[in-house]
Amino acid sequence: MADFQGYIILFLVWLTSTILVRTLFKSSAKSRLPPSPFALPIIGHLHLLAPIPHQALHKLSNSYGPLIQIFLGSVPCVVASSAEMAKEFLKTHEASFSNRPQLAAVDYLTYGSQDFSFAPYGPYWKFMKKLCMSELLGGRTLDLLLPVRVDEIKCFIELLLKKAKAGEAVDVGGELIRVTNNVISRMIMSERCSENENEAGDVRKLVQETAELTGKFNLSDFIWFCKNLDLQGFGKRLKDVRNRFDEMMERIIKEHQDARKRKTKTKIGDGGDAVKDVLDILLDISEDESSEMKLTRENIKAFILDIFAAGTDTSAITTEWALAELVNHPHNMEKAREEIDSVIGKDRLVAESDIANLPYLQAIVKETLRLHPTGPLIVRESSEDCTIAGYKIPAKTRLFVNVWAIGRDPNHWDNPLEFQPERFVSEEGSGKSQLDVRGQHFHLLPFGSGRRGCPGTSLALQVIQTTLAAMIQCFEWKVGDGGNGTVDMEEGHGLTLPRAHPLVCVPVARLNTFLSM
């Protein structure tokens, strides 16, 4: 009996110690994961992200720290909300976070992720990145296509002058989208959308619908048992958008191919004077048997969708935010105008080549990008297990770098919520003006950083800075009754940080020289 009791005691000691060890082990394992708010079954932390995700994540980071873990349904995620954490993920451990997550809407619209922006990190992506930087969006191509941008900005100013003469209000954002859409369209395929207003409207609508569908929360991406269910009815809309885009691109590609055949037969343009658009360059590569990577028709169409979606509304939205800030800060507007007048004079329109001599204008754009980054969240996915800041980050964890929050971090910015372009103007060689937006300074990441940084940064800056400079140079902007109103700065819903309310202004021409431009 005593022996039996001894065995019972030994068994209970073993059982208790085993439970304690396992509990301590689990507790230790959990302690290696980043801090996390309380999650609900099935939906995880989805309920905490409304109404605007980057703002909601900023509030969570204020409570839980600069690196937190959340679950979007069944998808594990980490959120980095400081420059130091951003640097850890995007530089120190960049190799582990070079992939983007696959989303159902994006995958479908890009013909099975055959585009560039969302393609997996690998040989094809590396080839397209090199192609972007050297050919498609490189300095030489942008220089050759400069006349396109000059022409579109002049057309834009002429339209505003007509509105000014009539005393009519302008939906600034809508007109800016028209300009950037035309610039992108002509650079890609030598067609100016607004020459056919019906088609122009169709293209702009396609771009807007693409941005909306790829930016909306899709249950099938986050809740495992909804993966093959279309509970929100996205399927029909996705099919419609892709079919319309596909029809447009097939027509344009066929027109390009027919024109190329005619040139081959007649030898027209073989002297090297003709400027190739982006589609021509892509077709050249697809027909080149010696190319290191064979581009398919789907690759070409998906890449063009990337440029349209990424380049049309982002530049327009940034320019709209910049003008809104200047309307609300008339002393900054006047300072910018004085700089432009002193450098350019009053007898010609500002040009891209002038921007280097307009440091205050550059500072305005940087400050706008700090407060209103068109990509408020950088999204990546880990390809392997890694340890960051002492925390274990498993493979297949989704990463969100909160660019919006980082740009408002008081640890790096004095008076972070105030619009102060002067913070980017160097004082007695302090070097502040050298703070760049191209991903080298991790407290200012409007275009991302590293391998997955935006390849269209140079084009975006050229369009934004030159368009804004022309708007400041040629017009005064009146808002509200009496023209002295202020602009509401509330943010809207969307991936690209749109304004909640359109910026509607009455332009007043200030340089009569341009009336006959």
Residues placed in the known binding site for heme: 454
Pair 398, 381: CB distance under 8 Å:
yes
Per-position DSSP letters for 95-134, written without gaps between them? GGG-B----HHHHHHTTTT-SSSSSPSSHHHHHHHHHIII
Structure tokens at 23: 């509990």
* Rounded to 5°, angle at Cα 154 from 504 and 475: 45
CA 310 – CA 314 distance, rounded (Å): 6
* Rounded to 5°, angle at Cα 172 from 437 and 302: 60
CA 507 – CA 146 distance, rounded (Å): 26
Strand 398-402, strand 75-80: pairing: parallel
Pair 427, 359: CB distance under 8 Å:
no
Q: At what angle do helices 197-215 and 297-328 cross, to 10 degrees?
A: 90
Give the Å distances, CA to CA, from 425 to 359, 421, 464. 7, 7, 19
CA 391 – CA 431 distance, rounded (Å): 35
CA 403 – CA 409 distance, rounded (Å): 10
Strand 377-381, strand 386-388: pairing: unpaired
CA 245 – CA 239 distance, rounded (Å): 10
Structure tokens at 242: 């892709």
CA 358 – CA 380 distance, rounded (Å): 35
* Rounded to 5°, angle at Cα 402 from 397 and 405: 150
Give the Å distances, CA to CA, from 491 to 16, 398, 418, 495, 505. 55, 25, 16, 11, 18
User: Which amino acids are annotated as binding site, given as ranges?
Assistant: 454
Give the Å distances, CA to CA, from 39 to 72, 78, 80, 128, 498. 9, 14, 19, 40, 29
